[in-house]
Amino acid sequence: MTRAPQICTKHPAAAQNAAVSFDALLDPGELLTGTPTVSASPSGVTVDNVRVSAADLTVDGALVPTGRAVQFRASGGSSGTTYVLTVTCGTTSTPAQTLPVECVLAVVDP
């Protein structure tokens, strides 16, 4: 499984937006489609508002074109805990692919 290079950090009380790029995994012209899912390990962080990007955005300093990233909001979690989020989404390729990408979410109390 591919691991995203960025490490997202958030405060335990924050509900924070994040995004994961699938750009390096997709062929030219291929886009993400459908309803992506995000699972967390260990449990304890809540992820909602999961969607395919509807506009160009910057992820970890790189411009990611529309439809090539998954955005979500993370809330909760225990301070000092590092969560591995598995983000999974289908693609428009023929035949269609289902691609999982892991990203790291560190909950810290500054």
The count of domains in the chain is 1
Cα-based distances in Å from 67 to 51, 57, 75, 101, 110? 10, 10, 24, 15, 34
Check: CB of residue 59 under 8 Å from CB of residue 6: yes
CB atoms under 10 Å from CB of 21, counted, come to 24
Could you tell me the residue range of the domain that residue 12 belongs to?
2-107
74: β partners? 16, 47
Residue ranges for the chain with pLDDT beneath 50: none
Coil, strand or helix: which one is 24? helix
- The pTM for the full model equals 0.94
> Residue 1 has what pLDDT?
79
CATH number at residue 101: 2.60.40
